[in-house]
Amino acid sequence: MPEVRIVEVGLRDGLQNEAAILPTEVKREIAEGLIAAGVRDIEATSFVHPRWIPQLADAEELAGSLPRGEGVRYRALVPNRKGLERALATPIDEYAVFMSASETHNRKNINKSIDETFPVLEETVRLARERGKRVRGYVSTVFGCPYEGEVSVAQVAKVCDRLFEMGVYEVSLGDTIGVAHPRQVKEVLRELLKLFPADRLAGHFHDTRGTAQVNAYVALEMGITTLDSSFGGLGGCPYAPGAAGNVATEDLVYMLEGMGVSTGIDLEALCRVSASVQERIGRKLPSKVLQSTLAS
Binding residues (CB under 6 A) for ligand HMG: these are 13, 16, 46-49, 52-53, 77, 79-80, 82-83, 86, 98, 109-111, 138, 140, 174, 176, 204, 206, 237, 239
Question: Which residue, judged by CB position, is nearest to ligand HMG in the bound state?
Answer: 174
CA-to-CA dists, residue 168 to 22, 156, 201, angstroms: 31, 15, 11
- The binder of 110, among ligand HMG, Mg ion, none, by C-beta within 5 to 8 A per type, is ligand HMG
Whether the Cβ atoms of residue 287 and residue 233 lie closer than 8 Å to each other: yes
Within 10 A of 76 (CB to CB), how many other CB atoms are there?
Answer: 27
Specify the residue, 39 or 271, whose C-beta has the smaller distance to ligand HMG. Answer: 39
Determine, following the binding rule CB under 5 A, whether residue 18 of this chain makes contact with Mg ion: no
The Cα 192–Cα 45 span in angstroms is: 28
* Catalytic site positions: 237
d(CA 290, CA 296): 10
Among ligand HMG, Mg ion, none, what does residue 138 contact (CB within 5–8 Å per kind)? ligand HMG
Q: Does 43 bind Mg ion (CB under 5 A)?
A: no
| Partner in contact with 233, chosen from ligand HMG, Mg ion, none, beta carbon below 5 to 8 Å by kind | none
Backbone angles phi, psi at 60, to 5 degrees: -65, -45
User: Nearest approach, Cβ of 282 to ligand HMG (angstroms)?
Assistant: 23
* Residue 49 binding: pick among ligand HMG, Mg ion, none (C-beta 5-8 Å cut-off by kind): ligand HMG
Shortest distance in whole angstroms from residue 292 CB to ligand HMG? 26
- Where are the alpha helices (H) located in 112-247, listed in sequence order? 114-130, 153-166, 182-195, 212-221
In three-state secondary structure terms, 95 is strand
Taking every pair of Cα atoms in the chain, the longest distance, rounded to a whole number of angstroms, is 52
Does 13 participate in binding Mg ion (rule CB under 5 A)?
yes
Q: Which is nearer to ligand HMG, 162 or 206 (CB)?
A: 206
